[in-house]
Amino acid sequence: MGLLTGKNALIFGLANDKSIAWGIAQAFAREGAQLGFSYAGEALEKRVKPLASHLGVDFVEQCNVASDDQIANVADKAAKRFGQVDIIVHSIGFANKDELSGHFYNTSRAGFHLAMDISVYSFVALARAFQPIMRKGGALLTLTYFGAVKVAPNYNMMGVAKAALEASTRYMASDFGPQGIRVNAISAGPIRTLAAMGVSGFRDMYKNFADMAPMRENVTPEDCGNAALYLCSDMASHVTGEVLYVDSGYNIMAAADPREKKEG
């Protein structure tokens, strides 16, 4: 018997086999969850469909989270297919490239709105759309980054959006607590995914992270999958409104330890 046997889980934000969402999907499948996937747009269909069939998943729906209609449409289809849903995973973030370099104060009004809409409001919108079919004992989960709390050079607008996402996690934990539904976030260390590619300076910060983190190792989508498994299973009953760091301990450090690099 798996930790998620008998539970239905919908995962939003699968792009390819490097996605954090894919690490989560694999952990959930291993523990017996019935899965459904949602992806942003047509261009990703040819990547997502084969991943779905690899895990025997036949609920695969397109949903651009900028659209209330598309969100309502997946919620409708999920209700027909699953009846009730136990777990929603939100693994989505987006800002225009212009907003991810230079000075934060140069963020445009439209760029600010777009990043907040796709990276923050969509979590709230999904929670509301699925509320009528969420089962008591259910869980909502989102993905965040340390740039929400401390300044990460170039992360800029996304850092501000992640701060709002973490606050939204707490407010929704308060809203949904009485219904027995928990709301949490995982704050992951830098991972080489599609969303991290082409980000200026990502390579250096990826390397710097492993040098600075107590465990001297980068983190993987599988690490996030196992943490997500905990947070969305009954093992975490009564854990809500939390941000769980999956970061080799990076966030506890104030400076690099000069004594040693990785043992080996």
Partner touching 118 among ligand 0WE, ligand NAD, none, CB below 5 to 8 Å by kind: ligand NAD
CA distances from 72 to 13, 48, 63, 64, 95 (A): 17, 21, 9, 11, 23
Per-residue mark of binding to ligand NAD, 76-95 (x: CB under 6 A): ---------------xxxx-
Residue 6 Ramachandran class (φ > 0 left, ψ -120 to 50 alpha, else beta): left
**According to CB under 6 A, which residues from 107 to 136 bind ligand NAD?**
118
Partner touching 154 among ligand 0WE, ligand NAD, none, CB below 5 to 8 Å by kind: ligand 0WE
- 145 has catalytic annotation: yes
Q: What are phi and psi of 212, to 5 degrees?
A: -90, -35
Out of 100, 140, 186, 231, point to the residue binding ligand 0WE (CB under 6 A).
100
CB 182, CB 221: distance < 8 Å: no
Out of 130, 145, 176, 250, point to the residue binding ligand NAD (CB under 6 A).
145
The count of chain residues that interact with ligand 0WE, using the rule CB under 6 A, is 17
- 250 has catalytic annotation: no
Position 120: which residue type? V
- Name all contacts of 158-161 with Cβ < 8 Å and 24+ positions apart: 158/93, 158/95, 158/99, 158/100, 158/115, 158/119, 159/104, 160/104, 160/112, 160/115, 161/93, 161/95, 161/115, 161/116, 161/119, 161/120
Of residues 39, 105, 121, 145, which has the active-site annotation? 145
CA distance 157 to 160: 5
160, 128, 125, 126: which is closest to 144 by C-alpha? Answer: 160
Out of 151, 167, 194, 252, point to the residue binding ligand NAD (CB under 6 A).
194
Out of 85, 141, 186, 195, point to the residue binding ligand 0WE (CB under 6 A).
195
Nearer to ligand NAD, 85 or 118 (CB): 118
Out of 54, 97, 207, 261, point to the residue binding ligand 0WE (CB under 6 A).
97
Reading the block at residue 115, the tokens are 């990043």
Nearer to ligand NAD, 62 or 84 (CB): 62
Query: Does position 246 bind ligand NAD by CB under 6 A?
Result: no
Active-site residue list: 145, 155
Residues making contact with ligand NAD (CB under 6 A): 13-15, 19-21, 40, 44, 64-66, 91-94, 118, 143-145, 188, 190-191, 193-196
